[in-house]
Amino acid sequence: MEFYVEGGTKTKRFIEAVLPSMLTQLGLDNSRKLLMVKMDRDLKDHGTTMPLAGIDTFLVVLKPNRNLLNLGVTLAHELVHVRQMAKGILKVTPRGKKWRGKFYSRSTPYLDQPWEQEAFARQEIVFRRAID
């Protein structure tokens, strides 16, 4: 998977250093899709991931005003979502999300969403292996 990182020098260097390992761990290193990682100080959450329609690209947006340890764990969390979408396990629809063919409305509590449960379960391991 090719990637492009936009951010301050320190943050950009850090993300570019850990991304190859994370992509390999998640089985995305040979994907033909493109990954864009951007920083946004105004982001409400720590991170978010979205597919960009029609161009086989995923956008990961991270809030940059955090220490690098937290930023790395958040990046790993969001990359689990990239994997879920790239493999077709998670699909975003206008009314909600589909996980393994089952529809979940927007009102499903955050911690009850199976894609979030998986991302939380894997984020720390993916990040720790990337910095070893």
70 with 46: CB under 8 angstroms?
yes
Burial 91-101 (b: 16+ CB within 10 A, else e): eeeeeebbbee
The verdict on pTM exceeding 0.85 is: yes
List per-residue pLDDT tens for the chain, 132 residues long: 999 999 988 999 999 999 999 999 999 999 999 999 999 999 999 999 999 977 899 999 999 876 899 999 999 999 999 999 999 999 998 889 999 999 999 999 999 999 999 999 999 999 999 999
Fold topology of 2-131: Collagenase (Catalytic Domain) (3.40.390)
> Residue 66: its pLDDT value, please?
65
- Please report the pLDDT score of residue 54 as a whole number: 78
60-87 residues labelled b (16+ CB within 10 A) or e (exposed): bbbbbeeeeeebbbbbbbbbbbbbbbbe
